[in-house]
Amino acid sequence: MKNVTSVPKITLGISLLFLGMLLFLGGKVSPSSQSISFESEPVKVEKLSSDEVDDAKIPKRIIIPRLSLDLEVKKADIVNGYWEVFPDTAAWGSGSGIPGEKGNQIIFAHAREGLFLPLQSIKVGVKLYILSDLGWFQYEVREIKEVYPNQIEVIAPTEDETLTLYTCSGFSDSKRLIVIAKRV
């Protein structure tokens, strides 16, 4: 007698395998997928400091020795309510805090090789350094968290000197990795 259930099991197995591959690769291959990244969802800026900042005070470089990370930092102006994002360097959000003064300075970059991808392995306690024309400023990582792109409170002004690093994370860049550091 022939086994009647073998054909449906094989069909079900192949269907599940195909569906799994489609779900796994679909977000990365499909041109119509709605991935959230800096290209499609840049850093939205609410009201920040409107004071003009002396260029000498603006961060020019970020170094995290533990991660072998050393990047140029450019000033990102606000365009249509969003900070500019650069494909090849980190950015300091215009209107955010500056090294050596109270406030929340925001530095962000894409999560790719040569940019902020190494932040995925950063730990609390790691030291990092910001260079401006006025000198070096040392910070220590105090908190690491993931948020959704609409949780913009992480870039809000602070009462103390804070450095917030911001990059994409999560499946299909659906979240943001936030690294909060304080001056030491």
126-176 pLDDT, tens digit each = 999 999 999 999 999 999 999 999 999 999 999 999 999 999 998 878 899
Check residue 85 and give its pLDDT: 93
Check residue 122 and give its pLDDT: 98
CATH superfamily name and code, 55-183: Sortase (2.40.260.10)
Residues of the chain with pLDDT under 50: 22, 25-40, 47, 49-50
Q: Where are the domains of the chain?
A: 1-33, 55-183
Check residue 147 and give its pLDDT: 96
Check residue 35 and give its pLDDT: 31
Check residue 162 and give its pLDDT: 98
List b or e across 16-54, with b for residues whose CB sees 16 or more CB atoms inside 10 angstroms: eeeeeeeeeeeeeeeeeeeebebeebbbebeebeeeebe
Distance (Å, whole) CA 162 – CA 77: 20
pTM beyond 0.85: the answer is: no
The Cα-based distances of 149 to 24, 35, 152, 168, 173 in angstroms read 22, 12, 7, 9, 10
Check residue 12 and give its pLDDT: 58
Distance (Å, whole) CA 14 – CA 19: 9
